[in-house]
Amino acid sequence: MKEMKESDLWQVVARHLRKRYRWSTDWWAGSGKPFGNFSAGMGYGQPDVVGVSEQLAKPEIHFVEGKILRPSRQKFNETIGQLKDWRDYANYLWAAFARADWQLATAAQREDWESALRVEGIGLVLVKDSKATISIDSRSNSQVDPEKQRLVLERLGSKAAELPVPIFSLDRHNALAATGAIAWCYDIFVTEAREVASASNKGAPPEDYDPKRPLFCWDGWYDANENRAITADPLGSIAGNGVPGILIWRRYRTWDSLLRIRDGLPGALLYILQDGDNFTVTPYSDVDRRHLKEVRFKELWLFWQVTIEGRTRQGIKRSIQDIWKNI
């Protein structure tokens, strides 16, 4: 009889569990499709079979690890160790072995292994030829991490990986306050702020937004050399304080040009745009300048926030003008 190889387990187990648990999407090693590794103990590893059932409100993920037990019984412990390390990723964990290898172990050894599997909630699948049999059912795992589970779903290409829109409803007072802040900030931006910048652009610049951060602003009126700019930050999402305001910006091309400024105007904030759209905002007075030159950047700005709450339009305009002239 031809001895079974580890790769002989994968498709047989996947086919059996797919039918029993109505997997909508699955993957198995050797299928020709890439999947990727997950952290396992001190390193990384890849399950032999991954499947997802989407019959219920929340998807349920299955991980299978299969080994050939001969000639070393240590393979059993390796299998259990890997599956335990993957508890964060899968709702159901399965160990798969060749039935012939399993039966070569003594009755006492098999009893110990079955006991260990039951304690850990790991299911047992035995394979003979092209048939798989579940000897121990896998127990639902309560330690799943939703973010790690979503990573698995994304790799499988499952629609269940899509997240619902992560927003919350505002009560009437806060909704009206937010709407008012946006409307007033925009109106001041396209009138007083535009006049200060002597912007001749027709219409307003486009909105700049990022739902993941979250971020929302209008960008922006620039001077001829694009070294100064005025933007609108109606919800304080760039300044990071939740206060509606107009932002006045000064660009710096090098660290040396910025570091020549000892204190700048009061209230200056340092904006560093790095890889992608990642940026940091720090009060300039709090910056440790000794190590700034080690920081790589795509764009480098100082900006000042002119708040609009409880102020007259003329007072807001004078504040914008003062900063614009002095930077």
Report phi then psi at 254, rounded to 5. -135, 160
- pLDDT confidence of residue 286: 84
d(CA 48, CA 6): 9
DSSP state of 323: H
**Distance between alpha carbon 125 and the CA centroid of its chain, in Å?**
34
* Local structure of 153: helix, strand or coil: helix
- Predicted local confidence at residue 304, as pLDDT: 96
Report the chain's terminal Cα–Cα distance, integer Å.
85
CB 273 within 8 A of CB 299: yes
Q: Is 14:48 a contact under the CB 8 Å cutoff?
A: no
Host H or E run for residue 199:
none
**Domain ranges (residues) in the chain:** 7-161, 172-326
**CA 307 to CA 314: how far, in whole Å?**
13
Cα 238 to chain centroid, rounded: 20
77-134 residue pLDDT tens? 999 999 999 999 999 999 999 999 999 999 999 999 999 999 999 999 999 988 999 9
Tokens for 232? 């609108």
Residue 138 has pLDDT above 90, yes or no: yes
pLDDT given at position 42: 56
Amino acid 161: pLDDT: 59
Provide, rounded to the nearest whole percent, the portion of the chain with pLDDT above 70.
91
List, in order, residues 6 or more apart from 223 with CB less than 8 Å away: 197, 229
Nearest in space to 100 (alpha carbons), one of 81, 121, 125, 128: 128
65 and 79 Cβ atoms separated by less than 8 Å: yes
Of the pLDDT bands very low, low, confident and very high (cuts 50, 70, 90), residue 294 is confident
Band the pLDDT of 2: cuts 50, 70, 90.
low
Distance from C-alpha of 302 to C-alpha of 251, rounded to nearest angstrom: 7
Q: How far apart are CA 287 and CA 264, in angstroms?
A: 12
How many other C-beta atoms are found inside a 10 Å radius of the C-beta of residue 53? 21
The top-level CATH class assigned to 7-161 is alpha beta
pLDDT of 163: 58
CB atoms within 10 A of CB 195: 13
CA separation for the pair 250, 89 (Å, rounded): 46
Q: Which residues pair with residue 209 across a beta bridge? A: 216
State residue 54's pLDDT score.
85
pLDDT by residue (tens digit) across 174-206?
A: 889 899 999 999 999 999 999 998 865 555 677
Per-residue pLDDT, 13: 95
Question: Does residue 300 register a pLDDT over 70?
Answer: yes
Please, what's the b/e burial string for 136-166 (b: 16 or more CB within 10 A of its CB; e: otherwise)? bebeebeebeeebbbbbbebbebebbeeeee
Over residues 20-44, mean pLDDT: 80
Per-residue pLDDT, 260 = 80
CB neighbours of residue 4 within 10 Å: 19
Whether the predicted pLDDT of 64 surpasses 60: yes
259 CB-side CA count, 13 A: 10
pLDDT of amino acid 291: 75
- Alpha-carbon distance of 114 to 126, in angstroms, equals 12
* Packing angle, helices 107-120 and 74-85, rounded to 10: 10
- Residue located via tokens 């006492």: 108
What's the predicted TM-score (pTM) here? 0.54
What is the reported pLDDT for 309?
Answer: 92
In this predicted model, what pLDDT tens digit does every residue of 117-126 receive, in sequence order? Answer: 999 999 999 9
Please give the average per-residue pLDDT across 40-54, as a whole number: 81
Per-residue confidence at 34, pLDDT binned at 50, 70, 90? Answer: confident
Which CATH number applies to 172-326? Answer: 3.30.1460
| CB neighbour list of residue 26: distance below 8 Å, 6 or more residues apart | 14, 17, 18, 49, 50, 51, 52, 156
